[in-house]
Homo-oligomer: A and B are copies of this chain.
Amino acid sequence: MIQNMPIDECPGGITSPQGFLAGARGCRIRRLTKDVAMIVSEVPAAAAAVFTQNKTQAAPITVSKSQLKKSPYCSAVIVNSGNANACTGERGLNDAWEMVRTTATALGIPEDQVVVSSTGVIGQYLPMERILPCIAALASEVTRDGGRDAAQAIMTTDTYAKEVAVTFSLGNSVVTIGAMAKGSGMIAPNMATMLGFVTTDAAISQPLLAKALHTANAKSFNRITVDGDMSTNDMVIILANGLAKNAPIAEHTEEYTLFVAALEYVLIKLAKMIARDGEGATKLIEINVIGGTTEDEAARVAGAVANSNLVKTAIHGRDANWGRIMAAVGYSGVDFDPEQVEIFFNDLPILGKNYAILLDEEKATQVLGEENIVITIHLNQGSWGARFWTCDLSKEYVHINASYRS
């Protein structure tokens, strides 16, 4: 039971829901580890996705968007890490289509039921001579236990694989949602900001699935930032194959509300894992803005603070420099009265109304030494709130990104 909701978290990931298989292989794209993953649904699944808003769009984004326009069903997803297949022009597009066709042929499914995704270095061509035989082999290797392998294969600079699964009851049926994600660098808000793959055995129509994904995505993956850099390759896709045999979820029902709550739980959990595992991160920082005039304004304030290099370096150094927080709130573009703002680090009051400095340096340093820090900013303007998740900015971030390609 999660926060009084009839939702239970369970071990597992994308192969936890019924009828989903997965597998992974090392194809030496960039490293000697597993780098190609395949997800398969035993029956065609309703599919919905959100994609990066970056105008510089990788080939697999173009191809997958086109695929989901052609067919509301998807039976397989093929993903590679190590190479983003972005800024690769005609040849990159052909390569992405070739990955789709090879997957469809190997699995014996219609070509328009395959989606493709890539992550890694920009501006290099995929080693197709190594990838295509891998895909052919994977088609007969996917299993009900393959979720973990797939979660590992999509990692780039991630330091651990990111998986979540939850179950809940819909009528007499037990429904499962499973998911995996990768993040780490080039993480910014505004749409899907990394790769996320979600599977469920719930029966739900494609339009309603799309609606649920947009709702849950807005409060999870759209609310994280590592470095403010939006990627060319981001996508989050959800497949719902109906094998739980629940009565199809209808809009404006308790079942739909529960489904969205469960999906939001899964995506927020992954989003927080991504923020915590940001490149060089040592802490997960939640920016919790309350008392906003609208949710959008609260989110803009939270986003500005979460993106502030100065706030993130200060927290890295356990320095309770609340002035930098006030400065970021001030340039968020949102109208507010600075003298009404209150700031807390976890439960510790730092700043009161009328700039009352409540900060106890010793206690604050102690709180900032923790691994999970919630910075609450009360605007005292209205009753809307929004959360953002980010990480501290360390020398290690610079180290990783000064030599990513080498």
Q: Which residues of A contact B (CB under 8 A)?
A: 53-57, 84, 86-90, 92, 121-123, 185-186, 188, 190, 227-232, 307-310, 313-314, 316-317, 319, 321-324, 326-331, 334-336, 338-339, 351, 354-355, 357, 393-395, 397-399, 401-406
Contacts and interface: CB of A to CB of B under 8 A. Distances in A.
A310 to B, nearest CB: 5
Contacts of A338: 55-57, 87
Contacts of A317: 401-403, 406
Contacts of A339: 89
Of the listed residues A324, A394, A399, the one surrounded by the most CB atoms of chain B closer than 10 A to its CB is: A324
Contacts of A123: 322-323, 326, 351, 355, 357
A236 to B, nearest CB: 17
A327 B186 contact: yes
Contact of A185 (B310, B319, B395): B310
8 contacts: A55-B329, A55-B330, A123-B326, A186-B310, A228-B309, A229-B327, A319-B406, A395-B398
Given A331-B230, A398-B313, A319 B53 contact: no
A368 B370 CA distance: 39
A355 B317 CA distance: 41
A150 B336 CA distance: 35
A405 B55 CA distance: 40
Of the listed residues A307, A335, A402, the one surrounded by the most CB atoms of chain B closer than 10 A to its CB is: A402
Contacts of A55: 329-331, 334-336, 338
Nearest to A185: B310
Given A87-B338, A229-B308, A319-B406, A401 B327 contact: no
A54 B228 contact: no
The 6 A-B residue pairs with the shortest CB-CB distance, nearest first, are A122-B323, A317-B402, A56-B330, A313-B401, A395-B395, A54-B330
A393 B88 CA distance: 28
Given A123-B322, A355-B87, A355-B88, A329 B403 contact: no
A328 B55 CA distance: 9
Contacts of A121: 323
Given A229-B309, A314-B402, A402-B316, A54 B186 contact: no
Nearest to A227: B309
Given A89-B339, A185-B310, A186-B310, A326 B401 contact: no
Contact of A232 (B54, B327, B355): B327
A387 B111 CA distance: 47
B53 A354 contact: no
Contacts of A190: 331
